[in-house]
A and B are shown apart, each in its own frame.
Chain A
Amino acid sequence: MSEMRTPLSRVRGLGSAKKGTEHFWLQRVTAIANIPLAVFFVSAIVVHAGADYLTVKAFLSRPIVALVMLLLILSMVWHMRLGLQIVIEDYIHDHTVKILALILNTFFALAVGTASVLAILKLTLA
Protein backbone atom coordinates (compact mmCIF):
# COMPACT_ATOMS: atom_id res chain seq x y z
CA MET A 1 0.00 0.00 0.00
CA SER A 2 1.63 3.23 -1.12
CA GLU A 3 -1.03 5.56 0.26
CA MET A 4 -1.29 5.63 4.04
CA ARG A 5 -3.88 8.39 4.23
CA THR A 6 -7.56 7.57 4.54
CA PRO A 7 -9.95 8.82 1.83
CA LEU A 8 -11.69 10.94 4.50
CA SER A 9 -8.49 12.80 5.38
CA ARG A 10 -7.92 13.59 1.73
CA VAL A 11 -11.48 14.85 1.24
CA ARG A 12 -11.04 17.14 4.26
CA GLY A 13 -7.87 18.53 2.75
CA LEU A 14 -5.68 17.43 5.64
CA GLY A 15 -1.98 16.86 5.20
CA SER A 16 0.27 17.95 2.36
CA ALA A 17 -1.39 19.18 -0.83
CA LYS A 18 2.03 18.98 -2.60
CA LYS A 19 1.84 22.71 -3.33
CA GLY A 20 4.56 23.69 -0.87
CA THR A 21 7.38 24.05 -3.40
CA GLU A 22 5.26 26.07 -5.80
CA HIS A 23 4.13 28.33 -2.93
CA PHE A 24 7.71 28.87 -1.73
CA TRP A 25 8.90 29.59 -5.27
CA LEU A 26 6.14 32.06 -6.20
CA GLN A 27 6.65 33.84 -2.87
CA ARG A 28 10.31 34.41 -3.82
CA VAL A 29 9.65 35.31 -7.47
CA THR A 30 7.07 37.95 -6.53
CA ALA A 31 9.38 39.18 -3.74
CA ILE A 32 12.20 39.79 -6.25
CA ALA A 33 9.80 41.55 -8.64
CA ASN A 34 8.47 43.69 -5.78
CA ILE A 35 11.88 45.23 -5.02
CA PRO A 36 12.31 47.39 -8.17
CA LEU A 37 8.53 47.92 -8.44
CA ALA A 38 8.26 49.21 -4.86
CA VAL A 39 11.33 51.43 -5.30
CA PHE A 40 9.63 52.95 -8.37
CA PHE A 41 6.39 53.37 -6.43
CA VAL A 42 7.96 55.11 -3.41
CA SER A 43 10.01 57.36 -5.72
CA ALA A 44 6.89 58.28 -7.69
CA ILE A 45 4.99 59.16 -4.49
CA VAL A 46 7.94 61.18 -3.12
CA VAL A 47 8.28 63.19 -6.34
CA HIS A 48 4.50 63.85 -6.38
CA ALA A 49 4.19 64.77 -2.70
CA GLY A 50 1.70 67.62 -2.52
CA ALA A 51 1.10 67.54 -6.30
CA ASP A 52 -2.36 68.59 -7.49
CA TYR A 53 -5.01 66.34 -9.04
CA LEU A 54 -4.20 67.04 -12.69
CA THR A 55 -0.48 66.42 -12.24
CA VAL A 56 -1.06 63.05 -10.53
CA LYS A 57 -3.72 62.11 -13.09
CA ALA A 58 -1.40 62.96 -16.00
CA PHE A 59 1.43 60.98 -14.40
CA LEU A 60 -0.68 57.84 -13.82
CA SER A 61 -2.12 58.10 -17.36
CA ARG A 62 1.25 57.69 -19.06
CA PRO A 63 1.40 54.19 -20.61
CA ILE A 64 4.83 53.36 -19.13
CA VAL A 65 3.71 54.43 -15.65
CA ALA A 66 0.43 52.52 -16.01
CA LEU A 67 2.37 49.44 -17.11
CA VAL A 68 4.72 49.53 -14.11
CA MET A 69 1.79 50.23 -11.76
CA LEU A 70 -0.11 47.23 -13.17
CA LEU A 71 2.95 44.99 -12.71
CA LEU A 72 3.35 46.32 -9.16
CA ILE A 73 -0.30 45.63 -8.29
CA LEU A 74 -0.25 42.10 -9.71
CA SER A 75 3.05 41.08 -8.12
CA MET A 76 2.23 42.73 -4.79
CA VAL A 77 -1.27 41.28 -4.49
CA TRP A 78 -0.03 37.82 -5.36
CA HIS A 79 2.83 38.10 -2.86
CA MET A 80 0.65 39.36 -0.02
CA ARG A 81 -1.94 36.64 -0.54
CA LEU A 82 0.75 33.94 -0.32
CA GLY A 83 2.31 35.67 2.69
CA LEU A 84 -0.88 36.00 4.71
CA GLN A 85 -1.76 32.41 3.82
CA ILE A 86 1.36 31.28 5.71
CA VAL A 87 0.46 33.46 8.70
CA ILE A 88 -3.10 32.06 8.74
CA GLU A 89 -1.89 28.46 8.50
CA ASP A 90 0.67 29.04 11.26
CA TYR A 91 -1.53 30.77 13.82
CA ILE A 92 -5.14 29.69 13.22
CA HIS A 93 -5.71 26.13 14.28
CA ASP A 94 -9.49 25.91 14.27
CA HIS A 95 -10.31 24.19 10.98
CA THR A 96 -13.47 26.18 10.13
CA VAL A 97 -11.98 29.55 11.07
CA LYS A 98 -8.82 28.73 9.12
CA ILE A 99 -10.73 27.85 5.94
CA LEU A 100 -12.84 31.01 6.28
CA ALA A 101 -9.72 33.13 6.81
CA LEU A 102 -8.07 31.59 3.73
CA ILE A 103 -11.16 32.37 1.63
CA LEU A 104 -11.32 35.95 2.94
CA ASN A 105 -7.60 36.31 2.19
CA THR A 106 -8.23 35.41 -1.44
CA PHE A 107 -11.28 37.69 -1.64
CA PHE A 108 -9.33 40.63 -0.18
CA ALA A 109 -6.37 40.18 -2.53
CA LEU A 110 -8.66 39.86 -5.55
CA ALA A 111 -10.73 42.89 -4.54
CA VAL A 112 -7.65 45.08 -3.99
CA GLY A 113 -6.10 43.85 -7.24
CA THR A 114 -9.22 44.28 -9.36
CA ALA A 115 -10.06 47.74 -7.98
CA SER A 116 -6.51 48.96 -8.57
CA VAL A 117 -6.32 47.53 -12.09
CA LEU A 118 -9.70 49.09 -12.91
CA ALA A 119 -8.56 52.51 -11.69
CA ILE A 120 -5.28 52.36 -13.62
CA LEU A 121 -6.98 51.20 -16.83
CA LYS A 122 -9.56 53.97 -16.55
CA LEU A 123 -6.81 56.56 -16.10
CA THR A 124 -4.58 55.35 -18.91
CA LEU A 125 -7.28 54.44 -21.48
CA ALA A 126 -9.34 57.59 -20.98
Chain B
Amino acid sequence: MFLSILHRATGIALYVGTLLLVWWLMAAATGPEAFTLFQGFAGSWIGQMVLFGYTWALFHHMFGGIKHFIWDTGAGFELSTVEWISRGATLIPILLTLMSWVLAYKFMGAF
Protein backbone atom coordinates (compact mmCIF):
# COMPACT_ATOMS: atom_id res chain seq x y z
CA MET B 1 0.00 0.00 0.00
CA PHE B 2 2.70 2.47 1.03
CA LEU B 3 4.90 1.51 -1.93
CA SER B 4 1.94 1.89 -4.28
CA ILE B 5 1.43 5.49 -3.08
CA LEU B 6 5.18 6.07 -3.41
CA HIS B 7 5.05 4.91 -7.02
CA ARG B 8 2.46 7.59 -7.74
CA ALA B 9 4.27 10.22 -5.68
CA THR B 10 7.58 9.62 -7.50
CA GLY B 11 5.66 9.67 -10.80
CA ILE B 12 4.22 13.10 -9.96
CA ALA B 13 7.66 14.35 -8.85
CA LEU B 14 9.18 13.18 -12.14
CA TYR B 15 6.31 14.85 -14.01
CA VAL B 16 7.00 18.25 -12.41
CA GLY B 17 10.75 17.64 -12.69
CA THR B 18 10.59 17.50 -16.49
CA LEU B 19 10.59 21.32 -16.22
CA LEU B 20 14.26 20.98 -15.20
CA LEU B 21 14.94 18.85 -18.29
CA VAL B 22 13.26 21.48 -20.48
CA TRP B 23 15.30 24.22 -18.78
CA TRP B 24 18.55 22.28 -19.33
CA LEU B 25 17.81 21.60 -23.02
CA MET B 26 16.54 25.13 -23.72
CA ALA B 27 19.58 26.61 -21.96
CA ALA B 28 21.94 24.46 -24.04
CA ALA B 29 20.08 25.53 -27.20
CA THR B 30 20.01 29.21 -26.23
CA GLY B 31 23.64 29.98 -25.40
CA PRO B 32 26.44 30.18 -22.84
CA GLU B 33 24.75 32.77 -20.56
CA ALA B 34 21.52 30.76 -20.33
CA PHE B 35 23.52 27.61 -19.70
CA THR B 36 25.58 29.25 -16.95
CA LEU B 37 22.34 30.29 -15.26
CA PHE B 38 21.10 26.69 -15.30
CA GLN B 39 24.45 25.39 -14.04
CA GLY B 40 24.32 27.96 -11.24
CA PHE B 41 21.06 26.45 -10.05
CA ALA B 42 22.05 22.83 -10.65
CA GLY B 43 25.32 23.32 -8.79
CA SER B 44 23.80 25.11 -5.78
CA TRP B 45 23.05 23.06 -2.67
CA ILE B 46 19.30 23.33 -3.26
CA GLY B 47 19.77 22.33 -6.91
CA GLN B 48 21.90 19.35 -5.89
CA MET B 49 19.26 18.25 -3.40
CA VAL B 50 16.50 18.52 -6.01
CA LEU B 51 18.60 16.59 -8.54
CA PHE B 52 19.50 13.96 -5.96
CA GLY B 53 15.80 13.53 -5.14
CA TYR B 54 15.02 13.41 -8.84
CA THR B 55 17.60 10.65 -9.40
CA TRP B 56 16.12 8.57 -6.60
CA ALA B 57 12.54 9.21 -7.80
CA LEU B 58 13.53 8.08 -11.31
CA PHE B 59 15.15 4.84 -10.16
CA HIS B 60 12.42 4.14 -7.60
CA HIS B 61 9.67 4.67 -10.18
CA MET B 62 11.58 2.53 -12.69
CA PHE B 63 11.94 -0.42 -10.34
CA GLY B 64 8.38 0.01 -9.07
CA GLY B 65 7.34 -0.28 -12.72
CA ILE B 66 9.45 -3.41 -13.24
CA LYS B 67 7.88 -4.92 -10.10
CA HIS B 68 4.40 -4.24 -11.49
CA PHE B 69 5.45 -5.78 -14.82
CA ILE B 70 6.30 -8.99 -13.02
CA TRP B 71 2.94 -8.94 -11.22
CA ASP B 72 1.11 -8.04 -14.46
CA THR B 73 2.24 -11.40 -15.84
CA GLY B 74 0.57 -13.09 -12.88
CA ALA B 75 3.91 -14.30 -11.49
CA GLY B 76 5.56 -13.65 -8.15
CA PHE B 77 2.48 -13.56 -5.91
CA GLU B 78 3.75 -16.09 -3.35
CA LEU B 79 4.16 -14.20 -0.06
CA SER B 80 7.92 -14.86 0.20
CA THR B 81 8.42 -13.75 -3.43
CA VAL B 82 6.35 -10.59 -2.90
CA GLU B 83 8.61 -9.86 0.07
CA TRP B 84 11.94 -10.06 -1.76
CA ILE B 85 10.63 -8.36 -4.92
CA SER B 86 9.44 -5.44 -2.76
CA ARG B 87 12.75 -5.29 -0.88
CA GLY B 88 14.72 -5.36 -4.11
CA ALA B 89 12.55 -2.65 -5.66
CA THR B 90 13.20 -0.47 -2.58
CA LEU B 91 16.92 -1.12 -2.05
CA ILE B 92 18.27 -1.30 -5.64
CA PRO B 93 17.05 2.24 -6.50
CA ILE B 94 18.79 3.62 -3.38
CA LEU B 95 22.04 1.86 -4.33
CA LEU B 96 21.82 3.04 -7.97
CA THR B 97 21.15 6.62 -6.81
CA LEU B 98 24.20 6.62 -4.54
CA MET B 99 26.33 4.99 -7.26
CA SER B 100 25.26 7.58 -9.85
CA TRP B 101 26.16 10.45 -7.52
CA VAL B 102 29.51 9.02 -6.51
CA LEU B 103 30.32 8.58 -10.21
CA ALA B 104 29.04 12.07 -11.07
CA TYR B 105 31.29 13.65 -8.42
CA LYS B 106 34.16 11.52 -9.70
CA PHE B 107 33.58 12.84 -13.25
CA MET B 108 33.52 16.36 -11.81
CA GLY B 109 36.98 15.65 -10.40
CA ALA B 110 35.88 15.93 -6.76
CA PHE B 111 38.17 13.03 -5.83
Contact = CB atoms under 8 A, between A and B. Distances in A.
Interface string A108-126: 1000100110111011000
A61 B66 CA distance: 32
B1 interface: no
Which residue, B22, B35, B103, has most C-beta atoms of chain A within 10 A? B22
B21 interface: yes
Interface residues of B, number: 31
Interface in B14-32: 14-15, 18-19, 21-22, 25-26, 28-29, 32
Interface stretch (A1-9, A40-48, A93-101): A40-48
A122 B69 contact: no
B104 A80 contact: no
A53 to B, nearest CB: 4
A119 B29 contact: yes
Interface string A19-36: 000000000100110110
A47 B7 CA distance: 27
Contacts of A87: 8, 11-12
Given A50-B108, A53-B35, A112-B19, A80 B11 contact: yes
Q: Which 5 residue pairs across A and B have the least CB separation, nearest first?
A: A50-B108, A119-B25, A49-B104, A119-B29, A122-B29
Interface of B: 8, 11-12, 14-15, 18-19, 21-22, 25-26, 28-29, 32, 35-36, 43, 55, 58, 62, 65-66, 69, 72, 100, 103-105, 107-109
